[in-house]
Amino acid sequence: MIHRLLAVLSLAFLCGSAVNAEPFVQGGPIGSQTSDGYNALGPVVQQPIDFPHYRHAKDMGINCMYCHTGARRGYVSVIPREDKCIGCHQNIESVKDKPRIKKLFEYWDKKEPIPWKKVNDLPDFVRFNHERHIQRFYFRQDRPVREVCGYCHGDVANMTVDRRVKSLSMGWCVSCHEKDHKESVTNMKTSHGPNECWQCHK
């Protein structure tokens, strides 16, 4: 009985910590299991501001592409322009005195860009196209955005600052490109991703 009670309590504790303890701020060594079931494959990256993805994408339910506006339009997903952050945060009085927001406004007041570190940085000879993937899986197949972005980025909505949790190696890309995927939510015809070298190496 006591064991069962302890198990329930510890489960509740774990669940609570998964939401509030900002799982990747401390992070674990490379290879360690993360709270959402992924393996942390990249190192913990110290960003200029500990951007809480979980607060925006999970707690507030904001679509990833509200900020990463390039993902549906071009090769790069785009780090949001600074005036986009300010556009919302100048109207959110409740968090204005939080250290991260203060830091954001410091950059903004100086009109300096925030020097974010790249987390998912592919080799220079690889050209990954966000648009193709987002158009196929989010718009045509109508899958949830957290799932579609999560194919390559993991469940970022559960992270504070982003950490690489997928291999992003060529073999890993190919393993998905070999599979058949539905054309769209209405078209049941399937096709797999391209496997010509030049699609990525140009």
**Segment interacting with other proteins (CB under 8 A) among 10-18, 143-151, 165-173, 187-195:** 165-173
> Which residues are CB-neighbours of 64 under 8 A, at least 6 positions away?
57, 71, 145, 146, 149, 156, 157
What's the gap between Cα 193 and its chain centre? Answer: 22
**CB of 140 vs other proteins, minimal distance in Å:** 21
Of 93 and 124, CB closest to other proteins: 124
**CB of 146 vs other proteins, minimal distance in Å:** 21
- For residue 156, with 0-12 CB atoms within 10 Å meaning exposed, 13-18 middle and 19 or more buried, which class applies? buried
Of 136 and 153, CB closest to other proteins: 153
How many CA atoms, within 13 angstroms, populate the side-chain half-sphere of residue 133?
Answer: 23
Mask for 108-127, x = binds other proteins (CB under 8 A): x--xxxxxxxxxxxxxxx--
Contact 166, 41 (CB under 8 A): yes
**CB of 65 vs other proteins, minimal distance in Å:** 13
**CB of 187 vs other proteins, minimal distance in Å:** 28
Dihedral sign of CA atoms 150, 154, 158, 164 in order: negative
| Residues in a beta bridge with 181 | 191
**CB of 111 vs other proteins, minimal distance in Å:** 5
Contacts of the segment 11-18: beta carbons below 8 A, 24+ positions apart? 18/158
Which residues in 43-102 contact other proteins (CB under 8 A)? Answer: 43-46, 69-70, 73-76, 78-83
Alpha carbon distance 72, 128 (integer Å): 13
**Segment interacting with other proteins (CB under 8 A) among 57-65, 146-154, 161-169, 189-197:** 161-169
Of 45 and 182, CB closest to other proteins: 45
Q: Is 105 in the site for other proteins (CB under 8 A)?
A: no
Binding stretches for other proteins (CB under 8 A)? 42-46, 69-70, 73-76, 78-83, 108, 111-125, 163-164, 167-169
